[in-house]
């Protein structure tokens, strides 16, 4: 499934040779992770099969419904914080009524998918990395292979389906709650009329912002699953290895989400 014999950097005295070898090792890891998730993507038609239906349903529930409490709190407070910070500045120019538009544009374009991605990477991604890591070190993955059960179909594909389906929905939910949080601050702290806030939101909300935000969240879902499953399935070294895999899942997901987010923003708005 994944070649565990990863590229090993020989002892190189030369600084540049060492960098070269490390670069090769990094390229191998990225290639493995992409191939792993690519295979899972090709198995999407099997998600409705009798053998996969149950696991896919559970992963949809775990990723979507179980993430709602933490996403609700974070989204609401992000909207409120953003409304306070921009509202104070806008008040200086008597333009506090624009706070709804500011919150809407920022959430739809960037913060909605980005914050959802970070929360899901830290919760669901970490959980996937830890679970698959534990399964790898306790030989459960080997047991699946011996039973002729493809771990990619059995474990990776259902998680990929769940993340790519739930991420845009959760991102949309984050946007709605953050705009609601902005409304609470706008009305109670900045003295903006509710109707004026809603009008401002509608005025600034554009379809392009919504669609690019949703597309970003689908891509972030793919990234989280790619990193988490690869880290989990290549775990070595018992409990310490599982800890490292979990940590790497969160750190690498954050970094890749940041860089990919920038690239997508540049492509659509640059």
Partner 1 sequence: MIEFKDVKKEFSGKLVLRGLNLCVDKGETISLVGTSGAGKSVTLKHMVRLLEATSGEIFIDGTDILTLEADELSKMREKFGYLFQGSALLQWLTVFENVALPLRENTDLSDDEIEEKVYAVLEKVDLTEAAEKTPANISGGMQKRAGLARAVVTEPEILLYDEPTSGLDPVTSRTIDGLIHDLQKDLGVTSVVVTHDMISALTISDRIAMLHQGTVSEVSSPKEFLHSKNEVVRNFLDSQCISSNFFEEFPERIL
Residues found near partner 1 in the complex (CB under 8 A): 5, 8, 51, 135, 138-140, 142-143, 145-150, 154
Q: Which is nearer to partner 1, 11 or 266 (CB)?
A: 11
**Residue 144: CB minimum distance to partner 1, A:** 8
Q: Tell me the closest approach of the beta carbon of residue 68 to partner 1, in angstroms.
A: 21
For partner 1, the closer CB: 14 or 148: 148
Per the structure block, which two tokens stand in for 21?
């070898």
Both tokens of 220, joined, read: 């972030």
Cα 1 from Cα 33, distance rounded (Å)? 11
Three-state SS for 78? helix
CA distance 185 to 189: 5
Could you give phi then psi for residue 191, rounded to 5 degrees? Answer: 75, 25
Q: Which is nearer to partner 1, 117 or 232 (CB)?
A: 232
**Pick 139 or 206: Cβ nearer partner 1:** 139
Instruction: Tell me the closest approach of the beta carbon of residue 7 to partner 1, in angstroms.
Output: 13
C-alpha torsion angle, residues 75, 76, 82, 87 (rounded to 10): 160
CB of 131 to partner 1, least distance (A): 9
Q: Which is nearer to partner 1, 176 or 243 (CB)?
A: 243
Nearest approach in angstroms of CB 156 to partner 1 is 15
CB 67 within 8 A of CB 119: yes
């Amino acid at each position: 499934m994944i070649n565990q014999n990863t590229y090993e950097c020989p002892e190189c005295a030369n600084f540049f040779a060492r960098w070269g070898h490390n670069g090769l090792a990094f390229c191998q890891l990225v290639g493995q992770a992409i191939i792993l998730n690519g295979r899972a993507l090709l198995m999407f038609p099997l998600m409705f099969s009798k053998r996969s239906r149950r696991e896919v349903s559970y992963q949809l529930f775990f990723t979507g419904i179980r993430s709602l409490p933490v996403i609700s709190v974070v989204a609401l407070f992000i909207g409120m914080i953003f409304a306070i910070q921009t509202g104070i500045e806008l008040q200086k120019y008597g333009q506090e009524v624009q706070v709804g538009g500011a919150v809407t544009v920022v959430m739809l374009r960037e913060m909605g998918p980005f914050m959802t991605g970070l929360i899901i990477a830290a919760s669901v991604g970490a959980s996937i990395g830890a679970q698959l890591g534990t399964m790898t070190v306790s030989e459960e993955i080997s047991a699946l292979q011996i039973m002729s059960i493809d771990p990619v179909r059995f474990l990776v594909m259902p998680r990929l389906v769940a993340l790519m389906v739930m991420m845009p929905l959760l991102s949309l939910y984050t946007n709605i709650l953050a705009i609601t949080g902005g409304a609470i601050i706008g009305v109670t702290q900045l003295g903006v009329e509710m109707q004026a806030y809603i009008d401002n939101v509608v005025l600034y909300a554009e379809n392009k912002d919504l669609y690019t935000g949703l597309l970003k969240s689908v891509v972030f879902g793919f990234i989280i699953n790619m990193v988490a499953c690869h880290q989990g399935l290549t775990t070595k070294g018992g409990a310490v290895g599982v800890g490292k895999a979990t940590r790497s899942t969160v750190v690498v997901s954050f970094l890749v989400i940041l860089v990919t987010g920038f690239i997508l923003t540049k492509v659509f708005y640059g």
